[in-house]
Structure 1
Amino acid sequence: MSLRFRQLQAFHAIVETGTVTGAAEQLGISQPGISNLLYQLERQTRLKLFERSKGRLIPTPEAGVLFQEVDTVVRGLDHVAQAVTDLQNKQAGQLQVASQHSMSFGFMPALIARFARTRPDLSISFQAQYSLKIQEWVISGLFEIGVCEMPLIHDGLEAHPINVETRLAIPADSPLAEHDVLTPELLEGVPFIVMGPEHMTHRRTREVFQQAGIPLKARVHSHLFKNLLSFVQEGMGVSILDPFVLDFEAGGGFISRPFRPRIMMEMAVITSKSRPLSAVGQEFLALLKQELAPYTAGRSSARS
């Protein structure tokens, strides 16, 4: 027996509304159309499905059994249709983003929350990790979009470069705050909180101090910008940090100043060359690039 879904849908609507008129309004088709679909269904099944009583259709016991089976199918297809509509309107789907740690404490959660505000059914996967791991995740398809530090070690990545100017974080009560711009000469003998020796900010800080003929006094080594800032807030020294951790730190206890010569960080927004982005991913990627634009070289030295 080959039953058409439209027949089952009409039957389902009649049971729910109790009338042909109600079913027609629910499905957006004519009353004769509903009556014809019901007639076809009863003829094919050889079952009497309704009794008429005072203008209403009363389901027979056979109709009650059939309705239990049909209900799951009809509601399931309704959910599929709504999911398609949501995806077309970019209201649903899955957003998969990974970023290096300094963005994960404020910048990225705020941006994702803003993006998701009008998408209540959006499923979100977000992780913070070291840059090499982020590249592996995007290559493998575990995440659609990543933000990492350079260099890229995989050929299969599409990269949108971001060159970010770092700033110097100093304790809030430091006498260094009287200077609008800080230099190696002004920082002679001042303890530094630094990343590991191979990190680009540490290497470049060493280089500018060497070029100025001034020793760099590294007092604390750590592995996350957030940790470095915590030591600054405790008054243990100063630190070269990217603007993401500085701009989204609400704890106070520090101020930041431009540092000269500039110390830059090369970063990139990455996607896979071999996997097309979902519609949701494309829209978020456009928003992410837009929000990162003010942090690019020459625009990130705001005084705080």
Structure 2
Amino acid sequence: MNIRQLEAFRATVTAGTVNGAAEMLGTSQSTVSRLIGHLERSLALTLFDRANGRLVPTPEGHLIFEQAEHAYRSYARIQELAADVRQNRVGQIAISCMPALGLGFLPGVIKAFCEKYPGVSVSLEIQSSARVEDWIAAQQTDFGLAELPFSRADVAVDEFCRVPYYAIVPPGHPLAARRELQPLDFDGMPFISMTSVCQVRHHVDQFFDAHGVRRVTHLETSYLQAVCEFVHLGMGVALADPFTVHANFGRVEARVMSPSLDFGVGLLYPRHRPLSKVCRTFITFLREYRDRCFAEVAARCND
């Protein structure tokens, strides 16, 4: 027994004739007759009484028809669901993301994605990069964005981006008059740092130490968004990734650093669990917005 046999049986009961069933299914009468014959033999039941050119369901045929209707509706629902999945009309996406992208950049991407695919639900967990890795390893989320590097065997990593940090200063600050800044420009400056538990803090400290720069670091915080707020308030200068810079256009002035410090982000996902189609579609969407973000920041800093 197969679904084509049930379709032919259902259509014949509904139409009352093999000819009518063939028209409903867009096939030939001989095909319908053959399918019904196969179904009767596979079930070892007579499903129709044949009289005066019409097929009348037997009592057994009526019983089978009731179940065939249920099966057909389930089959139709599967086809509809498959079409919805192909078109990203349904689905769920669970994302775990580091704060630098999760607080400013990613909400805008999710908004645009949900406007295009309103049937998709999205969950966003904002966590430290180390915590993102733990969640991916435990398969508690579909994919994540976290600062590189990572090397766990159970976590697959694709490079999402590797771009330079920008210098950020308050609007009207003397350094804002320059198109490009150097590490020595920060010597003796009040500098807003990340806390020591943040991976980026150590990279920034090593960067300035390597250039012999002594900053005044009396203020630190665990979120780059808060760093930007302190810079906006005139409490110091800092370095920020382009995603955070983009989210703070008009609040801080960003300038290119030369030499620069790289900001690397990985796209993490469980190594032994494939990404769903809707997740792959979102990641393509995400990369398009990433490129747009970088282009807008570069253009703004070169004005």
TM above 0.5, yes or no, is yes
Q: Name 1:165's counterpart in structure 2.
A: 164
* 1:26-50 per-position Cα deviation (integer Å, ceiling 9, x unaligned): 533335655776799899776789x
- Conserved? CA contact 2:245–2:297, under 8 Å: no
Q: Name 1:275's counterpart in structure 2.
A: 273
2:55 & 2:107 partners in 1: Cα distance? 54
Offset at residue 275 of structure 1 (A): 3.0
SS of structure 1 residue aligned to 2:259: coil
Unmatched runs of 5 consecutive residues or more in structure 2: none
- Conserved? CA contact 2:190–2:236, under 8 Å: yes
- Conserved? CA contact 2:91–2:278, under 8 Å: yes
Greater CA deviation, 81-90 or 241-250? 81-90
- Conserved? CA contact 1:201–1:263, under 8 Å: no
SS of structure 2 residue aligned to 1:73: helix
Q: Name 1:246's counterpart in structure 2.
A: 245
Offset at residue 128 of structure 1 (A): 2.4
Offset at residue 165 of structure 1 (A): 0.9
The one-letter code sitting in structure 2 at the alignment partner of 1:174 is: H
SS of structure 2 residue aligned to 1:258: strand
Using a 3 Å threshold, how does the CA distance of structure 1 residues 209 and 22 change in structure 2: closer, same or farther? same
2:171 & 2:22 partners in 1: Cα distance? 71
Using a 3 Å threshold, how does the CA distance of structure 1 residues 160 and 39 change in structure 2: closer, same or farther? closer
Using a 3 Å threshold, how does the CA distance of structure 1 residues 14 and 117 change in structure 2: closer, same or farther? farther
2:177 & 2:260 partners in 1: Cα distance? 19
Using a 3 Å threshold, how does the CA distance of structure 1 residues 290 and 33 change in structure 2: closer, same or farther? same
The one-letter code sitting in structure 1 at the alignment partner of 2:96 is: A
- Conserved? CA contact 1:191–1:219, under 8 Å: yes
Match of residue 78, structure 1, among 76, 80, 87: 76
1:187 & 1:125 partners in 2: Cα distance? 39
Using a 3 Å threshold, how does the CA distance of structure 1 residues 81 and 196 change in structure 2: closer, same or farther? same
Match of residue 30, structure 1, among 3, 16, 28: 28
Q: Name 2:154's counterpart in structure 1.
A: 156
1:13 & 1:183 partners in 2: Cα distance? 78
Q: Name 2:219's counterpart in structure 1.
A: 220
1:269 & 1:179 partners in 2: Cα distance? 34
Offset at residue 124 of structure 1 (A): 3.7
Greater CA deviation, 97-106 or 211-220? 211-220
Q: Name 1:256's counterpart in structure 2.
A: 254
Using a 3 Å threshold, how does the CA distance of structure 1 residues 192 and 77 change in structure 2: closer, same or farther? same
Q: Does 1:144 align with 2:160?
A: no
Alignment of 1:230-245 (within 5 A): 230-245=229-244
Offset at residue 225 of structure 1 (A): 1.2
- Conserved? CA contact 1:103–1:245, under 8 Å: yes
SS of structure 1 residue aligned to 2:205: helix
After TM superposition, the score normalised by the length of structure 2 is 0.72
* 1:189-237 per-position Cα deviation (integer Å, ceiling 9, x unaligned): 4322221135344334434444555431123211111121222233322
SS of structure 2 residue aligned to 1:186: helix
1:228 & 1:282 partners in 2: Cα distance? 32
- What count of residue pairs does the alignment treat as equivalent? 298
1:153 & 1:115 partners in 2: Cα distance? 30
Q: Name 2:178's counterpart in structure 1.
A: 179
Using a 3 Å threshold, how does the CA distance of structure 1 residues 48 and 174 change in structure 2: closer, same or farther? same
Offset at residue 15 of structure 1 (A): 7.4
Alignment of 1:284-299 (within 5 A): 284-285=282-283, 288=286, 292=290
Greater CA deviation, 255-264 or 182-191? 182-191
Using a 3 Å threshold, how does the CA distance of structure 1 residues 47 and 202 change in structure 2: closer, same or farther? closer
Alignment of 1:191-230 (within 5 A): 191-230=190-229
More helix by share: 2
Offset at residue 148 of structure 1 (A): 0.8
Offset at residue 139 of structure 1 (A): 1.8
- Conserved? CA contact 2:48–2:55, under 8 Å: no
1:134 & 1:198 partners in 2: Cα distance? 15
